[in-house]
Structure 1
Amino acid sequence: MALLGKINILTVLKDAPPGLYLDGGDLGEILLPGDSIPPGAGPDDELQVFLYRDSEDRLVATTHDPLACVGDFAALKVKQIHPTIGAFLDWGLNKDLLLPIREQERRVHRGDIVVVFVYIDEVSQRIIASTRWREHLSTTPPTYSEGAPVSLLIAGESPLGYNAIVDNAHVGLLFRSELGSPLKIGDKCKGYIRHVRPDGKLDLGLDAEGYQRIAPLADRILSTLRSQDGKLAVNEASSPEEIRAAFQTSKKAFKQAVGNLYRERLIEINGSDIVLRNAGVRSVKP
């Protein structure tokens, strides 16, 4: 069954001057306009398409993937503002995504990056966005174990740190003390569950804990040393931002991994430079 606002695999029924018509099942024939047709596509082919309504409110298909589908949380840029209708967001398609005034938790401005939930309006049956994303989080209590890896979307700041949407379903808190460098609203990153509170709220971190965190990072540092003629471009005096850019980790974790490699006599520290001592393989710990 074809679904509005989702990516579907649909069969081409026929070729006509406007484009290809696809079998939308209960939704009927759906037009795939000519500018979105893959080379050589024709009747009986199966195509991966996204379904939405065009500027004339017609159900159409596109082979271009949007930045978010119905049911997704996403960070999108405000392209235009209409004083009585709302904001229009860039979601990667020719027709911009409407963020109605009533769905704006605070008034947005052109150029803003806003975190939204994408859904189908029950009245108009159009795909719209809402910055009231908390109202659309999963009501099912999270069942994560501590240390579990998760996908994060940075959604807002709080006095203690950053609120992040976890696995497109829940919300958690990244404590500022966990961070080596500031984050931006809309950043996507990998994180880890630090603690699941009795009320279902999640405490998060950007690095795995203990040996689970340090061992893979140490291996990456060794691999980078070998690929850079035995010398790292960053060191313990580098800024948290430089270390995060190089190894996607905090400065604290980087220094711990470097310390482990030094104790294992796999690297040397000459002044501020971190250099490879030999090409041996780091020891494996239980």
Structure 2
Amino acid sequence: MDKKTKLGQLNRLTVKHLTGMGATLDGGQMGDLLLPRKHMPDSLQEGSQIEVFVYLDSEDQPVATTETPKVMVGQVAYLKVIDVNKTGAFLDWGLPKDLLLPFAEQTNALRPGMHKVIYVYLDKASRRITASARLDKYLKEENTPLQPGQPVDLLFCGRSELGHKAVINGRYLGLLHHSDAYQNIMIGTTKQGFVKSINPDGRVNLALHLPNKAQLSELAERILADLEATGGVSQLTDKSQPDDIKARWKVSKGSYKKAIGALYKQRKIIIHPDRIELVKD
């Protein structure tokens, strides 16, 4: 059975013949596709195969290119707005014909020079490769395969009152709470992170760092040294506000509680409702 050529994807196609304009490729159900001469490698021969990206040209006809776009169908990317007209916004995705982001798929007004995180899909009516900023239409907000502690690739795509929204592994949506963001997070930033926890409703909470035993031990040692240097008392307890703990120690409240809990078990501190206190020898 012949392999189906996919629009908006990389395809490995066979060269049928070479012409002055370029190479004619066997596009399967799409028919013959032109690979323009400027994109042809010198070694290309009839009967050989070549990997190309298939998209629609300015006349909405399928065409092949050896150039790789910044994003393909089924992927997300952070792209620059090149132009805006009555049809929508047009984005730079690395090909001569810019990528359309229709008004109906926008979440806010866009101007040339702005950037936006978008998902690329094939429009069912027009069969055109199209962008959408409405990520929740195409990406799952509820987790199925992810596990707490799992490392993941993140693309930060928005903000909410609770924290920073991110695309996880290009397929899911999750949230990095403000209390777990120990640095400024800009929309469009990519980072490796971790699944911190999963809510009962399936929503994913993220972290940039997961504390291990060595890190917690090092934090406990720093807390102990600070107590010894500042009179043996600190107003930060396991009941303190996360922002106060983060401002002082650059860690989450959970990590801080584990560290002082370890010191308490070692009988090095006493935990009071309003303070922690160094145990005197």
Distance 1:141 1:175 in 2: 17
Aligned positions of 1:1-286 closer than 5 A: 1-82=4-85, 84-138=86-140, 141-211=143-213
Secondary structure of the residue aligned to 1:207 is coil
CA change 1:65–1:179 in 2 (3 A) is same
Distance 1:57 1:19 in 2: 19
Where in structure 2 are there 5+ consecutive unaligned residues? Answer: 217-248, 256-281
CA change 1:8–1:251 in 2 (3 A) is farther
Q: Is the 8 A contact 1:142 1:170 kept in 2?
A: no
Secondary structure of the residue aligned to 1:56 is coil
CA change 1:179–1:25 in 2 (3 A) is same
RMSD over equivalenced CA pairs, Å: 2.2
Determine which structure has more spread, i.e. the larger CA radius of gyration.
Answer: 2
Q: CA deviation at 1:211?
A: 4.2
Distance 2:23 2:99 in 1: 24
Distance 1:62 1:251 in 2: 48
Could you report, residue by residue, the CA deviation over 1:81-135 in whole angstroms, capped at 9, with x for unpaired residues? 11x1111100011111011112112211111110111011111111011111111
Q: Is the 8 A contact 1:207 1:213 kept in 2?
A: no
Secondary structure of the residue aligned to 2:202 is coil
Q: CA deviation at 1:181?
A: 1.6
Q: Is the 8 A contact 1:113 1:185 kept in 2?
A: no
Partner of residue 263, structure 1: none
Distance 1:191 1:117 in 2: 21
Secondary structure of the residue aligned to 2:136 is helix
Where in structure 1 are there 5+ consecutive unaligned residues? Answer: 215-249, 257-286
CA change 1:107–1:67 in 2 (3 A) is same
CA change 1:31–1:59 in 2 (3 A) is same
Per the normalisation by structure 2, the TM-score is 0.73
Distance 2:215 2:6 in 1: 41
Q: CA deviation at 1:179?
A: 2.1
Q: Is the 8 A contact 1:85 1:100 kept in 2?
A: yes
Secondary structure of the residue aligned to 1:182 is coil
Secondary structure of the residue aligned to 2:201 is coil
Partner of residue 232, structure 2: none
Q: Is the 8 A contact 2:140 2:173 kept in 1?
A: no
Distance 2:194 2:172 in 1: 13
Secondary structure of the residue aligned to 1:186 is coil
Distance 2:215 2:48 in 1: 47
Per the normalisation by structure 1, the TM-score is 0.72
Distance 1:212 1:107 in 2: 47
Deviates more, 1:180-189 or 1:50-59: 180-189
Secondary structure of the residue aligned to 1:35 is helix
The code of the aligned residue for 2:84 comes to I
The code of the aligned residue for 2:109 comes to R
Secondary structure of the residue aligned to 1:102 is helix
Q: Is the 8 A contact 1:86 1:100 kept in 2?
A: yes
Distance 2:16 2:114 in 1: 41
Q: CA deviation at 1:12?
A: 1.0
CA change 1:66–1:138 in 2 (3 A) is same
Could you report, residue by residue, the CA deviation over 1:58-90 in whole angstroms, capped at 9, with x for unpaired residues? 1001111111111112111101111x1111100
**Any runs of at least 4 consecutive aligned residues in structure 1 with deviations exceeding 4 A, and if so which?**
211-214, 250-253
Could you report, residue by residue, the CA deviation over 1:14-51 in whole angstroms, capped at 9, with x for unpaired residues? 10122111111111111111111122212122111110
Could you report, residue by residue, the CA deviation over 1:240-260 in whole angstroms, capped at 9, with x for unpaired residues? xxxxxxxxxx9659xx9xxxx
